[in-house]
Structure 1
Amino acid sequence: MYNIQQESLFSLQDLLEMSPKDTFAYLFETLDINPFLRVVSKKAFLGAPTQLNYVAMLQSLFIRIVERIPTIKDLRKRLKRSIEFSTDCGFMGSDRIPSEASYTRLIQKLLQSEVFQQSQQDLVKQAFHEGFIDASAVAIDATHVEARDRQPEKKKEDSQPLNTKTPTKKRGRKSKGEREQWLKEQLELEENRTLFEKKVETQASYSYDELVKEIPLTPAWGVKKNSEGKNVFWYGFKAHLVVDCKSQYILVALLTSGNMNDGKLAIPLLKGLAEKHPELAISQVIADAGYDLVPIYKQVESMGARALIDYNRRNEHQEDGMDKYFRPVCKEGHSYRYDSFDPKYETVKYTQPKECSTCPFNDGHCQKVFKKKIDDNQRRYTVPARGSDRYREQYKKRTAVERVNAYLKEFFQLNNIRHRGALAKVDFEFACLTYTACKLTADRLNQYIKMKKSTA
């Protein structure tokens, strides 16, 4: 497993286990509430005066995530029962505890704005300028998020009368007229599909904002394979993340329907990364086999980075003269070794296997060096080359995004989506933003402790 090579004096979990009063104070020193306040507060002085403490309401919603309070109803109960907790959230003695309807109206206002994305972007930029983010290598992955919506019933197939027969398809080759009609129908069908139902390469011409507007956000059935290779089904959403492999900061986060293919969100995530954080010098994008698509390699290349994506064979047969990692093999079946990469000619260099030096069949005619151009097949030839020790060492960094997914579910309520439909996006964004704020807070405390020790 990939271990982060940095000294950790004060961890994220230590911050969450501190006394609530200290945790909240540190958290809101890092997280600026004012942008959220501008979204939810009244825009005019006319009409009835505001009776709600919006600052305290907003702070209590973030505190609900940190304290792992399951519902708004439970949050209100705790605010009513504990004067100390309500004071920590920012409520005064004269303030009345808002109703659930008031919280719902506030959350709906937040949903219609982009305040979460802007605050997340600002925190990441702060972390970068303070030296906490390296971002030379980033990882992409998705995780399932169960919805609170009621699961739809299966549709019953219309039963046909017993005396009728289903029309059978004509077997054999289509005539010229039938084929032209069939091609016309397929073209119309393709044009009427939504953007994320089309092929991945169609996304290349769209901007990040255009892609985000087309993302489906209704709960749907999703399927994944567990560690035993069996299909596991869930009803809900998918959370897609881009994470810095070293610091584990969330750089871009998107929520989609549960039936969305992982690879179809790679280009929106990468475009969002390039647009929102141009200051990051990304050299490597790491992902699993679900992202092994040529348009994704091209998008990574357009960012000036290298893609390190696990190969998905898709029923492809192993070619003669190559091993399973597409390395050349000698007459005795030994794989050539990855040597180096030539950036001038974009070629990967392989040298003779060690076994060839003592091979009795080596008559001096075995080729000593093979060079493969990456552009010949971007899926097969990566930097470093597949199967090499350097490839395995770099690919281990992908576990950073899995670790962040686990953090979000265990400590930041991502596995406890309480709102239905599109409002579930607010729960997701609360979880991601609270995680980022806590991460930056912990890093700042670490830095303060180190400085204090060095000057002591």
Structure 2
Amino acid sequence: MSIIRQGSLFDLQDLYDLEPTQRYDAILSEFDTDSILHKVNKKSWLGAPTELNYAAMINSLHIRIVERIPTVKDLIKRLKDDFIFKLNCGFLISDRVPSEAAYSRLITKLDASIVLEEANETVVNQAISEGFITDDAVALDATHFEARDQAHPKEEKPATVPKKRGRKSKAEREQWLIDQAEQEANLPIFEKKIEAQLDVSLDELRATLPQNPQWGVKKNSEGKNVFWYGYKAHLAVGTQSQYILQSLFSSGNLNDGKAAIPLLKGIAERLPLPSLNYAMMDAGYDFEPIYAQNHQIGLQSVIAYNKRNEPEPIGFDKHFVPTCVREHSYRYDSYDAKYETLKYTRPKECVECPLAQDDLCQKVYKVKITTDLRRYTAPARGSKAWKTLFKQRTAVERVNAYLKEYFQLNNVRYRTGKRARVHFNLVTLVYNASKLACDRINQLLIQQAA
């Protein structure tokens, strides 16, 4: 991974200079612990009384991420050995330190609900209402992290009937097409083509997302394939504020492009962001349904083009900009949002060209982006404005690096995908809460200086 030359993500020093009690309070106060406690606490007065301090246990799970404590076992040891740390987590003097089994039951209850995702969205909405998120662009990307266990041995595939060689008859081919269509219709939504997600609700997409650890592959900076066994974190990050606006946890073998539509739908349906205009992604997201989803929710696509054995367009350059008779590229002029039209003007090489004097080359060229959403984007591909916007995509890569280095994203200590999802949700929640706490501290410092 190349070094990202960009300003600091947020000033963690302002947060870590505080005393532990103040630091924990600054982070934990950013989300509603009571709503999480309501999901895991005992619902009835009947039966044995509750002896555990669940509120303090929830706080300690978040503080474990902040303090980079590797395991729950180490967390319990710290609670037993450090009396001040125990009080900072919210335990009373009379409270006994919970066991590993108690924490395991708590994580099971958190896994059975979506309360952590709801708390994360509440933090983001609070940051929007306070004016900390005013982004006009969002960047999407995925990062991988390994599972705790090694991959299970592959099962031997059952013997299949050898295929009949040669061309199929007309009747056999018609039956084969019917069988293929029926097989495609019965596949899970994330094993179908990406365009199948356009008409599916956000709740259904999130509920059917594969989450078991699987083998994944990705090319490194040297162009070689790197394999890992585990999961993927799919993030949609504001390029200026660098909050995690939406996040998804999936199996390691899920294609990055198949998580884009749920992320975009989540932003459109759950976050009030009228200032958002652009969505930046790398070439791994270059699929027509993603452009269609962006257009449907009112965002312009700034996605790197992935050429797939496609013929060179006639009368256009590699960025699909129209060319003159002598194959000089027209200059991008402007975009008319009302008519969704790109405007190009005559190349500067044609000023003294005799062909232009004879009106063989038109002065202005206009094209609607709806002609082909993948080729024609606003601003136009290859233009200076497009390149400037695309550079902002590094924000999501920077957030990925911070989650792994400072927030223990790659320190999964659970054997199942569902429990690993709880760890992922804790990481993203603590990150956004820390970001909001730092923004509030910075705002207070600015007001005091004024």
Normalised TM-score (structure 1) = 0.92
| 2:14 and 2:441 in contact (8 A); partners too | no
Q: Structure 1 stretch 111-120 or stretch 17-26: which is displaced more? A: 17-26
Relative distance call for 1:206 and 1:167 in structure 2 (3 A) is closer
SS at match of 1:30: coil
- Distance apart, 1:195 and its partner CA: 0.8
Of residues 425, 429, 437 in structure 2, which corresponds to 1:429?
425
**For residues 57-456 of structure 1, what are the structure 2 equivalents within 5 Å?**
57-156=57-156, 167=162, 169-172=164-167, 174-359=168-353, 364=358, 365-421=360-416, 422-454=418-450
SS at match of 2:442: helix
| 1:351 and 1:368 in contact (8 A); partners too | yes
Cα deviation 1:379-404 (Å, max 9, x = unaligned) = 00000000000000011111111111
| 2:134 and 2:241 in contact (8 A); partners too | yes
Distance 1:121 1:362 in 2: 57
Distance 2:18 2:154 in 1: 48
Distance 2:328 2:151 in 1: 53
Distance 2:138 2:350 in 1: 38
Q: Structure 1 stretch 126-135 or stretch 30-39: which is displaced more? A: 30-39
| 1:2 and 1:399 in contact (8 A); partners too | no
Cα deviation 1:106-143 (Å, max 9, x = unaligned) = 11111111211111111111111111001321111111
Q: Which runs of 4+ in 1 moved over 6 A?
A: 157-160
Distance 1:253 1:13 in 2: 26
SS at match of 1:338: strand
- Distance apart, 1:356 and its partner CA: 2.3
Distance 1:180 1:311 in 2: 36
* Residue segments in structure 1 that go unaligned for 5+ positions in a row: 161-165
Distance 2:14 2:410 in 1: 21
Distance 1:297 1:167 in 2: 41
Distance 1:308 1:121 in 2: 25
Cα deviation 1:312-333 (Å, max 9, x = unaligned) = 1112122232211111223333
2:44 aligns with: 44
Distance 1:204 1:370 in 2: 32
Q: Structure 1 stretch 237-246 or stretch 290-299: which is displaced more? A: 290-299
How many residue pairs end up in the alignment? 445
Relative distance call for 1:359 and 1:100 in structure 2 (3 A) is same
| 2:31 and 2:122 in contact (8 A); partners too | no
1:163 aligns with: none
SS at match of 1:232: strand
Q: Structure 1 stretch 125-134 or stretch 340-349: which is displaced more? A: 340-349
| 1:140 and 1:243 in contact (8 A); partners too | yes
Relative distance call for 1:195 and 1:248 in structure 2 (3 A) is same
- Distance apart, 1:17 and its partner CA: 5.6
Distance 2:312 2:431 in 1: 44
- Distance apart, 1:241 and its partner CA: 1.1
RMSD: 2.1
Distance 1:279 1:354 in 2: 40
Distance 1:249 1:159 in 2: 50
Distance 1:180 1:258 in 2: 36
* Residue segments in structure 2 that go unaligned for 5+ positions in a row: none
Normalised TM-score (structure 2) = 0.94
Matched to 1:273, the amino acid is: I
Distance 2:93 2:67 in 1: 22
| 1:2 and 1:396 in contact (8 A); partners too | no
Matched to 1:290, the amino acid is: G
Distance 1:85 1:378 in 2: 55
Distance 1:412 1:95 in 2: 28
Distance 2:348 2:152 in 1: 60
Distance 1:442 1:178 in 2: 66
| 1:340 and 1:349 in contact (8 A); partners too | yes
SS at match of 1:201: helix
Distance 2:234 2:114 in 1: 18
- Distance apart, 1:92 and its partner CA: 2.2
Distance 1:87 1:217 in 2: 36
Asked whether 1:30 is paired with 2:30, we answer yes
| 2:356 and 2:362 in contact (8 A); partners too | no
Q: Percent identity?
A: 54
SS at match of 1:239: strand
Matched to 1:348, the amino acid is: L
Distance 2:208 2:439 in 1: 36
Matched to 1:415, the amino acid is: N
SS at match of 2:392: helix
| 1:147 and 1:236 in contact (8 A); partners too | yes
Distance 1:267 1:290 in 2: 13
